[in-house]
Amino acid sequence: MNNNNLFTKTQLMDYSSLFMRKEVQLWMKEDFSSVDVKIKRYDQQWGLYKNATYYDYLKYVYSILETHYQNEYILKNTFLTHWLIKELGETDSKVFSEFRVGNSIADIAMFNGHSKVFEIKTEYDTDRRLQWQLESYRKVFNQIFLIISKTKLSVFKKYEKDIGIITFDNKQMNKFEIYRESPIIPIVDATTIMDILHTKEYKTIVEIHYGELPKMTSFNQYNICNELIRQIPNEKLNTYFINQMKRRKSEYALSKRYHVILNQISLALKLNKADKTNMINRIKTPLKTL
């Protein structure tokens, strides 16, 4: 292994690419060519280790990234493992990774009694696009949280008081603390909500609120339902929206103890327990001899 414990930024970025969605999808096809490239490029000694698997090597790479390159995958995975899993286990929450709101994509969205969004900013991120993202999130979510390093507080605490802040320590990254709570604002924008809802979902909201669906065709159902939904009192619409999001199929196999480096992968790819087990079995394939 790298006994000097020194890694160039190029190497760390190269390592981090192993946890991209497209790479994981290759693992599930037992295509480990990209992993083999990294081993040959940086860690040829791994090809000599008896009984070593691709999973063993990925854990090794993850540990390096966790210490030396806290990119978005590492941060999101750590937050899921050390914060959200506890909340998921205690409520009827539903959580989504990369939840689209207009032209923005929220890192993590959670729906339980309220809707929450968590936007992660790593050491390498700026706040250049943040104001625009926050404006989009306010139209949908009751609470908004930024997840930032304590070293970045001066940059992000200037944002409005309705933006909650959760901090982490670079030296103890699994320790998250609420620096500023986000108030609960049960206001949503009907137009934005309509762009998120599926056809069955917005028709269900109309039927629940009005007691029945009006006559409509596949050509005019969106416009008719859009007009009716815009007339629903906002707090009721907020509740209807949250209930529909909680009904969405979103199987995920998150764990606080086993294979935790794969939690974010499982959420992003919507893997259920069987899918996750299948993936783990595949990456426990013995390393290719170089």
Burial class (CB in 10 A: 0-12, 13-18, 19+), 258: exposed
Residue 2's pLDDT is 45
* Backbone phi, psi, residue 118, to 5°: -120, 115
| End-to-end C-alpha distance for the chain, whole angstroms | 15
Residue 47's pLDDT is 82
Angle of helix 54-68 relative to helix 9-16, nearest 10 degrees, comes to 130
Residue 245's pLDDT is 95
Is residue 35 within 8 A of residue 56, CB to CB? The reply is no
**What does the alpha-carbon distance between residue 100 and residue 75 come to, in Å, rounded to a whole number?**
20
Is residue 244 within 8 A of residue 197, CB to CB? The reply is yes
Which ranges of 18-109 would DSSP assign to H, the alpha helix? 21-27, 33-42, 54-68, 72-79, 85-90
Long-range (24+ apart) CB contacts under 8 A made by 103-111 are 103/136, 104/132, 104/133, 104/136, 104/137, 106/133, 106/137, 106/141, 107/72, 107/76, 107/147, 108/76, 108/79, 108/80, 108/84, 109/141, 109/245, 110/84, 111/242, 111/245, 111/246
Q: What is the pLDDT along the chain (290 residues), one digit of tens a residue?
A: 444 458 999 999 999 999 998 998 998 888 999 999 999 999 999 988 888 999 999 999 999 999 898 888 999 999 988 888 777 655 678 899 899 998 899 999 999 889 999 999 988 888 888 999 999 999 999 999 999 999 899 999 899 889 999 998 877 666 889 999 999 999 999 999 999 999 999 999 999 999 999 999 999 999 999 999 999 999 999 999 999 999 987 666 677 778 899 999 888 888 888 888 898 999 999 998 66
Residue 55's pLDDT is 95
Residue 139's pLDDT is 96
**What does the alpha-carbon distance between residue 177 and residue 11 come to, in Å, rounded to a whole number?**
31
Residue 90's pLDDT is 56
Residue 70's pLDDT is 83
Domains of the chain: 9-69+270-283 (no CATH), 73-180 (3.40.1350.60), 190-247 (no CATH)
One-letter amino acid at 192 equals: T
**What does the alpha-carbon distance between residue 73 and residue 60 come to, in Å, rounded to a whole number?**
15
Cα 99 to Cα 9, 104, 189: the distances in Å are 29, 8, 16
**What does the alpha-carbon distance between residue 90 and residue 85 come to, in Å, rounded to a whole number?**
9
Is residue 128 within 8 A of residue 146, CB to CB? The reply is no
